[in-house]
Amino acid sequence: MRTIKEAEKLTGITSQNIRYYERQKLLSPQRNNENAYREYSEEDIKRLKLIRLFRSLDMPIGDIRRLFDGEVTLEDTIQLQIHRLQTEREKLAAALEFCGLIKEDQLADVNVDAYLHEMEEREKNGSVFAQFLDDYAAVIRSEMEREFSFMPDDRCDKPEKFTEELLKYGEQNHLDIVITKESLSPRLLINGIEYRAYRTSSRYGIVIHCEMLHPEDYIPEGMSAKKYRRYRILSVVALPVLLFIICNLWLMRDVLLQYGWGGLALSLGLMIVLFAADLSFVYYSYGKNFKG
């Protein structure tokens, strides 16, 4: 069995990315019973090398997972990746075409606006928007795992009761939970990922919060911490507010027609109060945490 540092040396994959692949369920190394450290078998090392090979071909994580899970064949997976690469090659060919056109010009004579306009017309903003959606979806998935909360059946004012409620939650939600430090601020492993837990008191009762200890376990591969923070703010503030307003536009229109601007202002105030109450309920009941 190998440690994570040894696995890093043998495969050429950083420990950060090894943890990320584990979180993405591409492999599941054993844990040492005494210290809960990861231990990698020869099969794990082989799988990590396969992951490195497929990622070198720009194969998406989801495709690799489905291949390992036996949902698709290697032939079908490679054929799909060939199609992706051919599409990318077409984009690169267009970029090369522009390079060929530009190199014929002198720097002072380059018609920048014309070239940029042509590029924008060809791209039609499709790839930019698609990348935005992919990044946003990745952050949403990570946030659901990064930190969550639940309301226990007990006050959890003793370490053993805290442990009991955590294990009960894991059983109810099909999570593999191992308590590594029993206390009123316990440490635990959830599906192999390190978390800390703590309890708070709210108007709705006792709430247990669980959060990942290491950023490398939740920040998507290839995304910077700064970019992740921007998308997280967008996910918990901007988009919910926007969707709330859009969903209530019809109500605002009817109120404005019947009661005028005064009625509209009153309705907006009421909606803001209801929206704040909804956010508070979601925070305490479903674990959406708004800390930066």
pTM score, whole prediction: 0.44
pLDDT of 24 reads 87
Of residues 202 and 267, the one with the higher pLDDT is: 202
How far CA 244 is from CA of 83, 249, 254, 266, in Å, comes to 39, 9, 16, 17
Q: Rounded to whole angstroms, what are the CA distances from 91 to 24, 87, 96, 184?
A: 29, 7, 9, 55
- What is the per-residue pLDDT for 286? 44
- Residue ranges per domain, the chain? 4-68, 74-124, 147-217, 225-286
| Cα–Cα distance for residue pair 105/102, rounded to 1 Å | 6
pLDDT number for residue 34: 77
Backbone angles phi, psi at 24, to 5 degrees: -85, 5
Strand order of the β-sheet with 147-150 is 147-150, 205-212, 193-202, 187-190, 177-181
Higher-pLDDT residue of 95, 160? 160
Choice between 117 and 7, residue whose per-residue pLDDT is larger: 7
Query: Does the domain made of 4-68 have the CATH classification 3.90.550.10?
Result: no
In whole angstroms, give the CA distance from residue 262 to residue 241: 22
Is 265 in a helix, a strand, or coil? Answer: helix
- Contact between residue 29 and residue 44 where contact means Cβ atoms under 8 Å apart: yes
How large is the average pLDDT for residues 6-21?
89
Q: Is the pLDDT of residue 284 over 90?
A: no
Residue 109 DSSP label: G
Quote the CA–CA distance of 174 and 152 in Å, as a whole number: 16
Mean pLDDT of all residues belonging to the chain: 78
- 17: tokens are 């990315």
- Summarize pLDDT for 37-94 with one digit per residue, the tens: 788 999 999 999 999 999 988 888 889 999 999 988 999 899 989 988 887 887 777 7
The mean per-residue pLDDT over the stretch 225-250 comes to 69
DSSP secondary-structure letter at 234?
I
Better-scored residue on pLDDT, 91 or 161 = 161
